[in-house]
Amino acid sequence: MLDKKIEDMIVEQMNFEIHSAYIYLAMGAYCDSIDMPGFANWFKIQWEEEIYHSTRMYEYIVERGGRPILESIEAPQKEWSSLIDTFEKALIHEQEVTKRINSIMTEAVNLSDHATRSFFNWYIDEQVEEEATVDTIIKQLKMVKDSGHGLFMMDKEMGSRAFVKPTK
């Protein structure tokens, strides 16, 4: 059985992951609107990942005897000034996710909740990857600046991303 405080924190994070998905889908829509279908694809895959993250948390809460409560999801931002702006906002958002995941892990450690700690180890590792990936894309966008050829090549690369459901 989950400690009530941990359960509430995971429920809150589950809803935040759904909000994250909503943000990424909005970013994808922005990219589609500026004729960057590869970047749109990247964000739509990110949307799928966030839904997967929230679903894992939902299932974990149920497995531990808790009840997932779905809350209202705030509307995401609709406009960005550039591709770099979308990814800079994505990085800030991922850093917030990391902070929140770390708080859950800290509480799990404090309560000696080894099951929750084990479950959230996956998210800790995932956040390192998330932040590094977005940071790399920002650096690459800054390198190509407004180069049509460079943006075209990056858009093609972003278009090749596919969602692969983790086996763990």
Domains of the chain: 4-159 (1.20.1260.10)
- Residues 87-138 have pLDDT tens digits of 999 999 999 999 999 999 999 999 999 999 999 999 999 999 999 999 999 9
Nearest to 60 by CA among 103, 108, 93: 108
Look at residue 168 in the predicted model and tell me its pLDDT: 67
**Is pLDDT of 76 > 70?**
yes
Contacts of 55 (CB under 8 A, 6+ apart): none
- The pLDDT confidence band at residue 80, using thresholds 50, 70 and 90, is very high
Look at residue 147 in the predicted model and tell me its pLDDT: 85
pTM: 0.94
- Residues 10-67 have pLDDT tens digits of 999 999 999 999 999 999 999 999 999 999 999 999 999 999 999 999 999 999 999 9
Q: Is 112 helix (H, G, I), strand (E, B) or coil?
A: coil
Extract the tokens encoding 137: 């894309």
Q: 145: how many CB neighbours lie within 10 A of its CB? A: 9
Helix, strand, coil percent values for the chain (each to nearest 5): 75, 0, 25
For residue 70, the 8-state DSSP code is -
